């Protein structure tokens, strides 16, 4: 008769311990993953972003130059000569200076989040005498999985995606050709004179 009441505190304590264990696990997981994603974005992700901009610019210049064949004769040659990869060194310097400021602020915030989350997680785990190493090990495995997925996605998917639609680009050149032919009939050589004035 007295066995049931004596079991009630144990069951309540067990539920409380499981709840605290889950809370600490989630808190540490959010801390580690959010800190990693933020740091990953401002380091490796930033490098990938810069490479994407350079690759897209080079692709735009070289690929459009191939399509200049829609312009007749010397006009096409003059336009193609002007289609070179743009020099963005000055813009790169400005962007890097701006990114340094943003990166510095971001790492400060990430550092605060990491320290607060880590201290609170360890404090609660020790207060409740939870198996801290088990919690850390579970979160490290999860963090490793997130890191691998992020690296693969940025390196092999995002970096190799071209957002320029070739069909749309070709339609633009066909429209330019049509306008050029119209202008040439109305005023022969006008388009070449415009090109000469800009070179």
6 assigned to some structural domain: no
Residue for token pair 């191939």: 66
116 assigned to some structural domain: yes
53 assigned to some structural domain: yes
Domain around 95: 14-163
Average pLDDT over residues 77-88: 55
pTM of the entire predicted model: 0.64
Q: What is the largest CA-CA distance in the chain?
A: 110
C-beta separation of 44 from 55 below 8 A? no
C-beta separation of 76 from 195 below 8 A? no
Give the pair of three-digit tokens for residue 40: 């990953």
Question: Any idea which of 61-70, 78-87, 114-123, 154-163 has the lowest mean pLDDT?
Answer: 78-87
2 assigned to some structural domain: no
Average pLDDT value over all residues in the chain: 74
194 assigned to some structural domain: no
43 assigned to some structural domain: yes
Query: Count of domains in the chain?
Result: 1
Considering only CA atoms, which of 117, 49, 58 is closest in space to residue 83? 58
101 assigned to some structural domain: yes
196 assigned to some structural domain: no
Considering only CA atoms, which of 103, 100, 152, 132 is closest in space to residue 28? 132
């Amino acid at each position: 008769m007295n066995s049931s009441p004596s079991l009630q505190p144990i069951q309540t304590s067990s539920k409380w311990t499981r709840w605290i264990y889950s809370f600490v696990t989630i808190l540490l997981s959010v801390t580690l993953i959010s800190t990693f994603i933020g740091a990953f974005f401002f380091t490796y992700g930033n490098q990938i972003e810069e490479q994407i901009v350079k690759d897209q610019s080079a692709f735009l210049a070289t690929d459009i130059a191939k399509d200049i064949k829609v312009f007749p004769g010397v006009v096409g040659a003059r336009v193609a000569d002007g289609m070179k990869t743009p020099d963005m060194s000055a813009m790169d310097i400005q962007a890097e200076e701006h990114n340094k400021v943003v990166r510095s602020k971001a790492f400060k915030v990430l550092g605060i989040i990491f320290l607060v989350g880590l201290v609170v997680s360890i404090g609660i785990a020790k207060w409740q005498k939870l198996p801290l190493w088990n919690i850390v090990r579970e979160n490290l495995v999860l963090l490793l999985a997130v890191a691998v997925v992020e690296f693969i996605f940025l390196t092999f998917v995002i970096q190799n995606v071209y957002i320029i639609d070739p069909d749309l680009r070709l339609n633009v050149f066909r429209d330019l050709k049509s306008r050029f032919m119209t202008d040439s009939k109305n005023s022969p050589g006008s388009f070449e004179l415009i090109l000469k004035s800009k070179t």
